[in-house]
Amino acid sequence: MTTRLRLAQCGLSAGKKARLHRILYKHGLGNGTALFLPYDQGLEHGPRDFFADPIASDPKYIVRLALEGGFNGIAIQVGLAEKFYWDYAGEVPLILKLNGKTDIPSDRSALSPLHACVEDAVRLGADAVGYTLYVGSPAQDADFAQYRAVRQEAQRLGMPLIVWAYPRGEAIEHKGGKDSFYAVHYAARVASELGADVVKVNFPHPEKHTDVPAAYAGEFSSQEAIDEVVRAANRTMVLVSGGSRAGDEVMFEKAQESMSAGATGLIFGRNVWQRDHDESLRFVDRLRQILAKYPTP
Give pLDDT, residue 2. Answer: 66
Question: How far apart are alpha carbons 125 and 244 in whole angstroms?
Answer: 29
Residues in Cβ contact with 25 at an 8 Å cutoff, skipping those fewer than 6 apart: 31, 32
Summarize pLDDT for 20-42 with one digit per residue, the tens: 999 999 999 999 999 999 999 99
> Does the active-site annotation cover 134?
no
Question: How far apart are alpha carbons 117 and 14 in whole angstroms?
Answer: 20
Question: How far apart are alpha carbons 219 and 202 in whole angstroms?
Answer: 19
The whole-number average pLDDT for the span 238-246 is 97
Exposure of 215 in the CB half-sphere (CA atoms within 13 A): 7
Question: How far apart are alpha carbons 258 and 275 in whole angstroms?
Answer: 23
Query: Does the pLDDT at position 73 exceed 80?
Result: yes
Residues in Cβ contact with 244 at an 8 Å cutoff, skipping those fewer than 6 apart: 270
Question: How far apart are alpha carbons 100 and 87 in whole angstroms?
Answer: 24
Q: Which of 39, 85, 147, 166 is catalytic?
A: 166
User: Burial level of 94, CB count in 10 A (0-12/13-18/19+)?
Assistant: buried
Give pLDDT, residue 5. Answer: 87
pTM of model > 0.75: yes
Q: List the beta bridge partners of residue 87.
A: none
The residue type at 168: R
Query: Does the pLDDT at position 1 exceed 60?
Result: no
Continuous H helices in 95-221 = 118-124, 140-157, 170-173, 181-193
State percent of the chain over pLDDT 90: 97
Longest dimension (CA), the chain: 52
Q: Which of 97, 200, 208, 254 is catalytic?
A: 200
Whether the CB-CB separation of 95 and 129 falls below 8 Å is answered with yes
Q: List the beta bridge partners of residue 200.
A: 164, 239
The whole-number average pLDDT for the span 1-6 is 75
Question: How far apart are alpha carbons 127 and 13 in whole angstroms?
Answer: 14
What does the DSSP assignment read for 248-296?
Answer: HHHHHHHHHHHHHTT--EEE-SHHHHSS-HHHHHHHHHHHHHHHTTS--
> Does the active-site annotation cover 293?
no
Whether the CB-CB separation of 262 and 238 falls below 8 Å is answered with yes
Summarize pLDDT for 243-270 with one digit per residue, the tens: 999 999 999 999 999 999 999 999 999 9
- Residue 151 CA to chain centroid, in angstroms? 17
Give pLDDT, residue 154. Answer: 98
